[in-house]
Amino acid sequence: MSLPKDFIWGFSTSAYQIEGAIEQDGRGPSIWDSFCNQPGRITGGSSGAVACNSYNRTADDIALLKSLGATAYRFSLSWSRIIPLGGREDPINDTGMQHYVKFVDDLLDAGITPFVTLYHWDLPDELEKRYGGLLNRQEFPLDFERYARIVFEALPKVKHWATFNEPWVSCILGYNVGSAAPGRTSAASTDPWIVGHNILIAHGRAAKTYRKKFQAQHGGEIGIVLDGDATYPWDASDPEDIRACNRKIEFSIGWFADPIYLGHYPAAMRAQLLSRLPTFTDEERALVKGSSDYYGMNHYTANYVKHREDAPNLEDYAGNVDILFSNKNGDWIGAETESRWLRPCPQGFGDLLRWISERYRNPKIYVLENGTSIKGENDLPIEKILEDDFRVQYYDGYVREMAAAVRLCGVDVRGYFAWSLMDNFEWAEGYRTRFGACYVDYDNGQKRYVKKSATVMKQLFDELTKKD
């Protein structure tokens, strides 16, 4: 037993991936609605229009969580459901806000602790059209701050807040690769870094508002959620590959965590990007540094990293490295999954937890996403889908690595959330890729079925958590 007795565990979802009901009760369109309407963007031409219909099935989802023994649930709010046009002078949709008020109350009545994320990639579409959305350094942080304040006021019972989920994805996939909303690839040499800077400022403004006006009375905490992969050198004997591993993490995790915990962008980013990387004003630095009460960690996979000999091009976003799944000796980092970017490597989870703990002086950590798809899962009969032993083994390996990092190295992990509670709209991959611990039958009313992986979680955490 190595996890603290008050350790929190549960499952994660996000609004656009599960809620559906995109035109119900006054919700306005988001950039993901618009992105999905563009031909060729989403596998199968699908969207989150219906998804798991969780907006209309909150009672079912809560009952499901309770049946699995989960002690907490991490979900996100739809900004455009609360403020359909998004801006600080735009009207509030009280029906949308009250939906979340009731949902939080119902979770608490069921003994489930809500962890609420304000922004999981679904910007109100009007703000994208009005001023360029996340690219606007003046308007976007102010609109986000007002949205956050409205939600803080309406949901005083929530004690665990996250501002942004995986800003790296918003910046790189949204403004460089173009595979996520808003799907921009123009001016890729500058846009991702501008967006990342603006997200940090918006996060800092929201955190300052919460701490100044709500934290003492509500007794909660606020942070940001960062994704990152573990790294190993392609050639373990090559010092350049070893350095490249750290550089790759600096370009993903360090991009956001260094300003928050250390007060500046990572050295590797400053050296490569030069003037393309925005600089903090004194006021912005004061907003951002120290602005998270905890480190929100999303983690799925690991890579072998090989340095490049040539100078980086303007579109490079990873630190001028090759990101690979096999090393110089031909060893694979893990087995294939349905997701081309994901191969299980439990050891990498432990190593990255230790890296974060050492670099940022042992912050309190919540693991807010961790999970896997299974190669070919969607093509199996339901009986075999429910016997998801690959996912069972993934969770078991990763959770035990996390527990070992706590026990042996003193890493301060306070909670773990599996991604995801149920199969859902997997962004550009549509509905073909399934990450759920519960199966969703999209053809028959989004009925939920519990997979084996969902049933083993309580037993796993009961085994690993201290009893007194």
Q: Does residue 238 contact residue 213 with C-beta atoms inside 8 Å?
A: no
Question: Within a 10 A sphere around the Cβ of 345, how many other Cβ atoms?
Answer: 25
369, 401, 426, 429: the active-site residue: 369
166, 338, 377, 426: the active-site residue: 166
- Residue 153 bears catalytic tag: no
List 232's β-bridge partners, or say none. 304
DSSP secondary structure string for all residues of 354-414 = HHHHHHTTS--EEEEE-----TTGGGS-HHHHH--HHHHHHHHHHHHHHHHHHHHH---EE
Q: Does residue 223 contact residue 347 with C-beta atoms inside 8 Å?
A: no
Torsional class of 210: left (φ above 0), alpha (ψ -120 to 50), beta (otherwise):
alpha
- Residue 369 bears catalytic tag: yes
SS3 119: strand
Q: Is the torsion defined by CA of 37, 41, 45, 50 positive or negative?
A: negative
Q: Does residue 220 contact residue 161 with C-beta atoms inside 8 Å?
A: yes
Of 39, 49, 42, which is closest to residue 16 (Cα–Cα)? 49
What's the CA gap between 327 and 309, in Å, rounded? 17
Structure tokens at 25: 């009760």
Question: Among all residues, which ones are annotated catalytic?
Answer: 166, 369
